[in-house]
Amino acid sequence: MSADCVPILLWDKKHRIIAAVHSGWRGTVARILEKTLHEMQDVYGTQGENIVAAIGPSVSQESYEVGTEVVDAINEAYGADNDLLIKISEHKAKADLWKANITQLVEFGVLTTNIEVSNLCTVINNHSFFSARKGDTGRFAAGIVMV
């Protein structure tokens, strides 16, 4: 369930394993996606080249203004020279959670051609998706099923 956080769906096409990851800013800086991929690797033998990943509707960098706490956490997790932040003032920036999660996928060895990003911002497209930033209390689901 999500309302601005990044839903990520994973499919290991070789081992026929699937996973769904919910990654808000805290999960993104904690590298929850990377941890999921390594767990899939440890348990099932998953390799990056066998993963197909989908990043679903969530807050875009254009709509995601964050304060010092998030800026500091991103810089600590991804290095001060990361390209995940656009500074807008001394204590505020716009954060790119999509790119941060793509980075985790690529670092694991997922081919960029196997990563699909919806590019649908839940804030901008609030008429179609719930957005906590817009004050919505509802959530929408992202799911994956293997048949």
Predicted pLDDT of residue 123: 74
Write the CA distances from 42 to 8, 35, 38, 39, 101, integer angstroms: 19, 10, 6, 5, 20
Going residue by residue through the chain, which has 147 residues, state the pLDDT in tens, using 9 for 90 and above: 777 889 999 999 999 999 999 999 999 999 999 999 999 999 999 999 999 999 999 999 998 899 999 999 999 999 999 999 999 998 899 999 999 999 999 999 999 999 999 999 887 767 776 676 666 677 777 888 888
Predicted pLDDT of residue 135: 65
Q: Which residues pair with 117 in a beta bridge?
A: 55
Q: How many residues does the chain have?
A: 147
Identity of the amino acid at 4: D
Distance, CA of 13 to chain centre: 20
**What strand order describes the sheet that includes 85-89?**
65-66, 92-95, 85-89
Angle between helices 97-108 and 68-78 (to 10 degrees): 20
Predicted pLDDT of residue 129: 67
- What pTM does this model have? 0.91
Predicted pLDDT of residue 53: 98
Predicted pLDDT of residue 127: 72
Which helix or strand (DSSP H or E) is residue 40 part of? helix 32-44
**CATH 3.60.140.10 for the 6-59+97-134 domain, yes or no:** yes
SS3 61: helix
